Amino acid sequence: MADKLTPEQYADQVQQWGRGTALGGLGTKFLSAGEGCARTELEFRREHAPLTGRFHVGVIMTLAEETASLAAMWEFNPTSELRRDLIPLTFQINFHQVGNTNRGRLIANAEIVHRGRTILVVQTRVHDDKDKLIAIMTVTQMVPRQPS
């Protein structure tokens, strides 16, 4: 197995893996991932908004889920080797949007709140750049089968 990366190195590695995929399509900047946590941010762009001019709920949800997945991925393969078989899969989402904005950036912080033998539960809180709460998401993910 390759050497374990720092949280910042790992976030940068996932950013590279995500280029040209759905993971890279939103424009999320992966800042750090490690020790059960992850942090990302997303600058507001006009294409992130419906006719209301504010962030689309799907954009906020995607940012939150990407951040949760980033935290979970590090748990099983914190290296520079892409191992698709070690990526946890989200199978349940609980999302609450409590605010919105049409400027600046969103910051998402994810934390693994339960590590079980077969599932992980990750909670993500999304704030705007003035620290106003925008959304809370809890995802349940299937733990990847560990190599024997």
- Architecture of the domain defined by 7-142: Roll (3.10)
Q: Is the pLDDT of residue 147 over 70?
A: no
Using DSSP, state whether 57 is helix, strand or coil. Answer: helix
Using DSSP, state whether 72 is helix, strand or coil. Answer: helix
pTM above 0.85, yes or no: yes
Task: Place 148 in a pLDDT band, splitting at 50, 70 and 90.
Answer: low
What phi, psi does 95 have (nearest 5°)?
A: -125, 135
Angle of CA points 111, 18, 90, to nearest 5°: 45
Please report the pLDDT score of residue 145 as a whole number: 84
| CA neighbours closer than 13 Å in the CB half-sphere of residue 69 | 21
Please report the pLDDT score of residue 2 as a whole number: 72
Q: Is the pLDDT of residue 133 over 70?
A: yes
Please report the pLDDT score of residue 4 as a whole number: 87
